[in-house]
């Protein structure tokens, strides 16, 4: 299995621009998570999906952030408009219901820099 695939790996953009981060979970996994990692706040859960349905989005910072999962093999995290304080590494992770379901497999992350 190719693991959790995230793109882009690096993104540099200017304040006010729209940013879209993408994630392909492991095939057969029915849970997908978006985390954000910063020096100040560590790893924060932004949102997670089960069977493509958002279950908990309480970690989404504000309305500028949105996430979708149109099908079992694809999810996006969008920031519009972006701000410098959004600079962080964004991780996607997935797992499946059942034994060991709490074991998340992480992607390599998307490093976002907003100038």
Partner 1 sequence: AQSVTQPDIHITVSEGASLELRCNYSYGATPYLFWYVQSPGQGLQLLLKYFSGDTLVQGIKGFEAEFKRSQSSFNLRKPSVHWSDAAEYFCAVGALNDYKLSFGAGTTVTVRA
Interface residue with partner 1 among 7, 13, 20, 45 (CB under 8 A) is 45
Which CB atom, from 37 or from 81, has the smaller least distance to partner 1?
Answer: 37
Torsion angles phi and psi, residue 86, rounded to 5: -85, -5
Which CB atom, from 71 or from 102, has the smaller least distance to partner 1?
Answer: 102
115 touching partner 1, by CB under 8 A: no
Distance CA 27, CA 60 (A): 25
Q: How far apart are the first and last CA of the chain?
A: 36
Torsion angles phi and psi, residue 85, rounded to 5: -70, -5
Q: Which spans of this chain sit near partner 1 (rule: CB under 8 A)?
A: 4, 31, 33, 35, 42-43, 45, 48, 50, 56, 91, 93, 95, 100-109
């Amino acid at each position: 299995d190719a693991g959790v695939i995230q793109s882009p790996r690096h993104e540099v953009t200017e304040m006010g621009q729209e940013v879209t981060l993408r994630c392909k979970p492991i095939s057969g996994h029915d849970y997908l998570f978006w985390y954000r990692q910063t020096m100040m706040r560590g790893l924060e859960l932004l949102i997670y999906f089960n069977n493509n349905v958002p279950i908990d989005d309480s970690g989404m910072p504000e309305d500028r952030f949105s996430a979708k999962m149109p099908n079992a093999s694809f999810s996006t995290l969008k920031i519009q408009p972006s701000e410098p304080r959004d600079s962080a590494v964004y991780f996607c992770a997935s797992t499946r219901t059942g034994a060991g379901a709490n074991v998340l497999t992480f992607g390599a992350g998307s490093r976002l820099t907003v100038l």
